[in-house]
Amino acid sequence: MSDTALMTLIIVAYLVVIAIVGLAGTKLIRGTDDFMLAGRRLGPFMVLTGLTATHIGGGAVMGVSEDSYVFGISGIAYSVGTALGLILLGVLSAKQLRNLSLRTITDYLALRYDSKWVRGLSAGLSIVAVTGIVAAQVNAAGGALAILGIDPTIGAVVAVVLFIAYTVFAGMWGVALTDAAQIMIVVIGVPIASLLGLRAAGGFEGLRVFAQTSGDVVASDYFSPVGMGVGAMLGIITPVIMYDLIGQDFYQRLFSARSAAVARGSAIGAGLLLLVFAFFPVIGGMSAHVLFPDLENTSSALPTLISEVLPVGIAAVIVAAILAAVMSTADSLLIAGSTHVTNDFYREIMGRDPQGDSPRTLQVARVWTLVLGVAALVFALTVPGIITVLSLAYTMYASGVFVPVMGGLLWKRATRAGALAAIIAGSAGGLAGVFGLLDYGGVPEVVVGGACSLVAFVVVSLLTRPEPAEAVARRLTPEPATV
């Protein structure tokens, strides 16, 4: 049997095992809260691995190694953003919002501002964002399967079918179980493969010689921490940090925690773990460029390196774990999107099933999981590049929603009208830059959009009358049983 055939067999077997582990979660689902939030019973290990897996799939592994293959050390930008974002999430808001026993981050906005319009606009933007981020995972999965000789488009379709299949049935329980099973393989296997790849490339001296002699890169930029450009790095880091602080997929993990203390500690722990892990995909991507300078599909840089420097059996398990982590990121995002539809639109805005726990609501959640997965596939096949898609999705959501969320937490004078103005102005400003309607001269679109949102938020809030503080406090008082 050829090495490629053996690797294919091992990867298929691994994914079957992971699917079985995930589907085991169906036995724990008795209602919509079990499907969306694992019954709020997850402990620190499960929450930490879940938060880590949400970033460590398509972004912090595949995306960073792809950027590092092209730009060198500065490819670490995305990982730096993810780590800082999760640490800030733990410090600023994880404990406070978990105490409220919410289902979505837009539940908080609706409570804080007492507005269905705020809920609807922010939930709509979040759905667009999570669909775009799933699309990035689809691109990453296609890149991972490309080393088996599978066309990336066909690989993307296969990945979508796989992660939709077990997400629809297993929900958050399935996601949590698969995260715990595979994340340790990734955080151990990727560093080993990257260091072995670095040795095969001649160590850091080999990277230096390659950068000086290759016509593909500029040596001074390849080893500069800002080699891709400060503006480009800020364009990656800023929206990632902002998204981490408001992203439904992260809060859904925190809301699944069994306590507020678990939510806070797990967010900080996941950020620190990602910060340590961040350097290895960079080393792997740069080493892959030395060893495979003519790689056509740069998103498969790290899987190609793994398949070449490790024994075929170990390589197959690590590649399979990366692929499974990518799909785990995607499935948690799909649940985040379908939770918005069922909780924010179906239950709260449309007034169907006020308790949110009927079989019909669970059916709605599963149908929308399928719909959003198909939409993500279309997006992935339309917009190439993992980090490009991620940055686009983060910008669209963070520009409008970041200020109302953080402003609501930090500023008591904020008003409903100010929040609405911030969402509209920020989204318009960010999207105008993303689609080239306005030229911001190298300033990241999310920064301009966020600035527009902040100005609108402050000005309109100061011009309108705030609710009595007692009324807001009553809505935001935790239930004693959930503290």
- Residue 243's pLDDT is what? 86
Average pLDDT, the chain: 86
Tell me if residue 70 falls in helix, strand or coil.
helix
Tell me if residue 293 falls in helix, strand or coil.
coil
CB count in 10 Å sphere of residue 454? 17
Q: Among 18-27, 221-230, 264-273, whose mean pLDDT is lowest?
A: 18-27
Q: Residue 6 pLDDT more than 60?
A: yes
127-142 pLDDT tens trace: 988 888 788 777 777 7
Please state the separation of Cα 106 from the chain's center in Å.
Answer: 17
Average pLDDT over residues 341-351: 91
Using 50, 70 and 90 to split pLDDT, how confident is the model at 183? confident
207-235 pLDDT tens trace: 999 988 887 788 888 999 999 988 888 88
- Residue 320's pLDDT is what? 78
Q: Residue 481 pLDDT more than 80?
A: no
Q: Which of 266, 262, 265 is nearest to 183 (CA)?
A: 266
Q: Residue 170 pLDDT more than 70?
A: yes
CB count in 10 Å sphere of residue 413? 11
Using 50, 70 and 90 to split pLDDT, how confident is the model at 157? confident
Q: Residue 480 pLDDT more than 60?
A: no
Tell me if residue 461 falls in helix, strand or coil.
helix
- Residue 151's pLDDT is what? 79
150-153 long-range contacts, Cβ below 8 Å, gap at least 24? 152/297, 152/299, 152/300, 153/381
What's the predicted TM-score (pTM) here? Answer: 0.85
Average pLDDT over residues 57-63: 77
Average pLDDT over residues 421-441: 90
Q: Residue 347 pLDDT more than 70?
A: yes
- Residue 406's pLDDT is what? 94
| Crossing angle for the helix pair 116-146 and 248-255, to the nearest 10 degrees | 100
Q: Residue 160 pLDDT more than 90?
A: no
Average pLDDT over residues 450-469: 96
Tell me if residue 257 falls in helix, strand or coil.
strand
- Residue 411's pLDDT is what? 94
- Residue 68's pLDDT is what? 93
- Residue 391's pLDDT is what? 66
C-alpha dist (Å) from residue 126 to 9, 129, 402, 479: 38, 5, 11, 26
Q: Among 16-25, 91-100, 197-206, 441-450, whose mean pLDDT is lowest?
A: 16-25
Q: Residue 88 pLDDT more than 50?
A: yes
* % of the chain with per-residue pLDDT over 70: 95
- Residue 40's pLDDT is what? 93
Q: Which domains does the chain have, with CATH numbers?
A: 3-378 (1.20.1730.10)
- Residue 482's pLDDT is what? 42
